[in-house]
Chain A
Amino acid sequence: MKHTVLAALGLCFAAAPAAAQLAGEPFIHDPSTITLSDGKYYTFGTRGGGLVSDDCWTWHSGGERPGGGVAPDVIRIGDRFYVAYAVGGGGMNGGHASLVKVMWTRTLDPKSPAFGYHDVGVVASSDGVEGADAIDPAFLLADGRLWLSYGTYFGAIRMVELDPKTGGRLAGNQPVDVAIDMEATALLFRDGWYYLLGTHGTCCDGPNSSYNIRVGRSRTPTGPFVDHLGVPLLKGGGKLVVAGHGRHYGAGHFGLLDLGDGVEKMSMHYEADMDRSGRSVLAIEPLLWRDGWPVGGENLVAGTYEVQSERGGALQLAVDDTRIAFDARASFRAKPDAPVGPIANQTLAQDMASWPKGPTAVDLGDYMIRPHQQWTIAPAPGGGGAFGAPYYSIVIAGTSRALAVAGDDVVTVPAFTGAPEQLWRIDQLIDGTYRIAPKGAGGASPARALVAIGRSTAALVRFDPASPTGRWSFQRP
């Protein structure tokens, strides 16, 4: 019976989607910054329309963006959503005359009575022969000032300043060249640094696209932006943030999705999702910060792990340890040239002989390579996800005994059924560790998460981003 269950689990794991794969119909190119409006998340791409989602996992066509053109961006300022988009440009063998336009609406929900776009007008342009192509706009609001980067591989990436009250270009403002050989730029502001992210490589050729996202930073929004080697972005520099991986080829068009509580995600498109006929798709993946630089993170990869609290202590079934037969005195007294040989790790059968049959508590202990400390974690087939991370099942390796919520408590139950209380949201934090929260524990910021409230005690409580007690790492057992 157990083997049948395991076989089924194995099949399910084998068929599990890639950790970066969103559900629904996430087909888009050049996604705008994901923006929350009236309880739903919106992103708009090249050409009209866009995608909408309740949970940033399952995406469907939705949203309305008139004007057509390429690569819009969206920012909310006060009660307005400003949308920048480009008309013209982006051509090959010419075709670099373009306009960046701005419009605004009070909601992105087309069904709302407050929905309706108001034209602001042209905020940047290129004449077709100058060394710039006014497409791919990106907003940044920092210290009360509104900036807009734009441009593509044809010449320079440029920066202009807009009026945050109107979305229009500030009078007298002149564009400043800040980078070359980039496209699909995005802007961030963090700890006094302005970050210019952009896409290098070849676009729009499916699995033959080499698109990858790079970054430089500057103390001022008009540069000079340099990468981690000090190479100016005006001389082609750029530190790698994320490139294609797995079944996804060609990462481009970065967008920040800051969930708060030390969780940041980046949206982008992949030029080709090889499980979806090589079509261009939206992706949402963890964003980490290391030494003042944004770095692409990774959703937890399916596998068997030791789950270690940053407080110190491995998540385990609260059961008695079973000793491994061993003569410690003889071992210490052994002569250097005495024969040696392997000793088997404790088997699951040896360990589980004393386990209770019903729901069993969990606690934290020193990791001793025991089966009751080893967890197989994988995206739950059909379980959905949230904010770019799939919901996971967490079971004792080799069994279907699953970590589950029981009221205010966290326990294990004898069998994984896929019930919502057995599904877990695992978000990578900006320092590379992870937060583990039950499914349904809230929106962008879960109301409660698995926290080491004691050296040996784990509980579901409010996550404190300033404390290491809610951070977890996953080690190969």
Chain B
Amino acid sequence: MTISIRHAALAALCLTLPAYAGAQGAPPAPPPLADYFVPATAAPKAPDADGFLQRWLLLEPIVKPNRSNTGFTEAYVRAAFAASLPQGPPMAVPRDGEAAKIAAAPRWHALDATRFDAKLFNLAQSLGKPVYGVIFWAVTVVEAPREMRGVRLAVGSNSASMWWVNGAEAAGLYGDRRMVMDDVLSRPLTLRKGRNVIRGAVINGPGLSDFCVRLLDANGQPIRDIVTTTK
């Protein structure tokens, strides 16, 4: 979720008032990446207690200016994602540090979120990258101990996002979205025994980009007997 501006009439006011920090001296340093992410390790990572997936390959933001999120219709979002990054084979996974093959050559980062959600805004902020008017891509690999039927991918994102499981489109969150856990659930899908690839993209204009993803079983309960990797 974001806003065209919190108080539209205050646009001028915001421009004329000195920033609080600025009035105190040097601008404050942004929170360090470690407040939100730690580097992924070689060991597989289990979901958190509520089943949220915390290991992700996250691509540095791709600039896509949008002054407002109210234009995030399905058609717009779908086209924006398609144009932002060429997709390889459905089961392919980028490597940590690999540069995407687009003009700006953003890099992939293998990270573990320290919270239930992946705070993309803070990732970009800590890397000194653009935080507004951006598209983020995310990939994780879910290792399932057996075939699991009737599974639903449960997603919340700020703002719009789309998600694919093993190359098949699973969920779309359109419009000016705020991040709510279990906001949109996919239709029932099947996790293969072994390796499954979840891929997602999040677009934001002036909002605070983040997402949360978990997998729910046929009874709506979070699945925790899986692990995530980046391979």
**Which A residues contact B (CB, under 8 angstroms)?**
29-30, 46-47, 68-71, 87-95, 97-99, 125-131, 135, 152-155, 180-181, 183, 200-205, 208, 210, 231, 235-237
Q: Are A154 and B180 in contact (CB under 8 A)?
A: no
Which of B39-80 touch A at CB < 8 Å?
67-70
Tell me whether B19 is interfacial, beta carbon within 8 Å: yes
Q: Are B7 and A153 in contact (CB under 8 A)?
A: no
From B9-17, B105-113, B137-145, the one touching the partner chain is B9-17
Chain B residues near A128 (CB-CB < 8 A): 19-22, 27-28
Pairs across A and B, CB under 8 Å, 8 listed: A88-B17, A88-B19, A90-B7, A92-B2, A153-B3, A201-B178, A202-B69, A204-B7
Q: Are B7 and A99 in contact (CB under 8 A)?
A: no
CB distance from B23 to the nearest CB of A (A): 8
With known contacts A181-B158, A235-B116, A129–B30 Cβ distance under 8 A: yes
Tell me whether B31 is interfacial, beta carbon within 8 Å: yes
With known contacts A129-B30, A129-B31, A92–B5 Cβ distance under 8 A: yes
User: Which among A99, A130, A203, A237 is the interface contact of B31 at CB below 8 angstroms?
Assistant: A130
- In the assembled complex, the Cα of A252 lies from the Cα of B67 at a distance in Å of 22
- In the assembled complex, the Cα of A91 lies from the Cα of B1 at a distance in Å of 14
Interface string of B172-200 (1 = CB under 8 A from A): 00001011111100000000000000000
Q: Are A127 and B20 in contact (CB under 8 A)?
A: yes
User: Which among B9, B19, B208 is the interface contact of A153 at CB below 8 angstroms?
Assistant: B208
With known contacts A131-B31, A181-B1, A236-B183, A203–B17 Cβ distance under 8 A: no
Q: Are B212 and A235 in contact (CB under 8 A)?
A: yes
Tell me whether B221 is interfacial, beta carbon within 8 Å: no
Q: Are A200 and B178 in contact (CB under 8 A)?
A: yes
Q: Are A202 and B70 in contact (CB under 8 A)?
A: yes
Q: Are A92 and B6 in contact (CB under 8 A)?
A: yes
Number of B residues with CB within 8 Å of any CB on chain A: 45
Q: Are B14 and A95 in contact (CB under 8 A)?
A: yes
Q: Are B6 and A204 in contact (CB under 8 A)?
A: yes
Q: Are B7 and A97 in contact (CB under 8 A)?
A: no
Q: Are A204 and B8 in contact (CB under 8 A)?
A: yes
Tell me whether B29 is interfacial, beta carbon within 8 Å: yes
Q: Are A98 and B6 in contact (CB under 8 A)?
A: no
With known contacts A153-B178, A204-B5, A236-B179, A93–B208 Cβ distance under 8 A: no
- The chain B residue sitting closest to A232, CB to CB, is B181
With known contacts A93-B206, A125-B20, A181-B158, A205–B4 Cβ distance under 8 A: yes
Q: Are B20 and A92 in contact (CB under 8 A)?
A: no
Q: Are A135 and B70 in contact (CB under 8 A)?
A: no
With known contacts A128-B27, A129-B30, A154-B208, A46–B10 Cβ distance under 8 A: yes
Q: Are A235 and B180 in contact (CB under 8 A)?
A: yes
Q: Knowing that A128-B21, A203-B3, A235-B212 are A-B contacts, what are 16 other residue pairs whose CB atoms are under 8 Å apart, sorted by A's residue number? A: A46-B9, A68-B13, A69-B13, A90-B6, A92-B67, A93-B206, A127-B21, A128-B22, A128-B27, A129-B30, A183-B6, A201-B1, A204-B4, A204-B8, A205-B3, A236-B183
Chain B residues near A200 (CB-CB < 8 A): 1, 178
- In the assembled complex, the Cα of A241 lies from the Cα of B210 at a distance in Å of 26
Chain B residues near A69 (CB-CB < 8 A): 13
Chain B residues near A30 (CB-CB < 8 A): 7
Q: Are A208 and B28 in contact (CB under 8 A)?
A: no
- In the assembled complex, the Cα of A319 lies from the Cα of B102 at a distance in Å of 86
- The chain A residue sitting closest to B208, CB to CB, is A154
Interface-central residue, B6, B7, B122, B212, by most chain A CB under 10 Å: B6
Tell me whether B125 is interfacial, beta carbon within 8 Å: yes
- In the assembled complex, the Cα of A69 lies from the Cα of B14 at a distance in Å of 9
- The chain B residue sitting closest to A94, CB to CB, is B132
- In the assembled complex, the Cα of A404 lies from the Cα of B60 at a distance in Å of 72
CB distance from A281 to the nearest CB of B (A): 15
Chain B residues near A125 (CB-CB < 8 A): 20
Q: Are A46 and B132 in contact (CB under 8 A)?
A: no
Chain B residues near A88 (CB-CB < 8 A): 14, 17, 19-20
- The chain B residue sitting closest to A238, CB to CB, is B180
Which of B95-135 touch A at CB < 8 Å?
116-117, 122, 125, 132-133
Chain A residues near B20 (CB-CB < 8 A): 88, 97-99, 125-128
CB distance from A190 to the nearest CB of B (A): 25
Tell me whether B94 is interfacial, beta carbon within 8 Å: no
With known contacts A129-B29, A155-B208, A29–B7 Cβ distance under 8 A: yes
User: Which among B181, B206, B208 is the interface contact of A237 at CB below 8 angstroms?
Assistant: B181
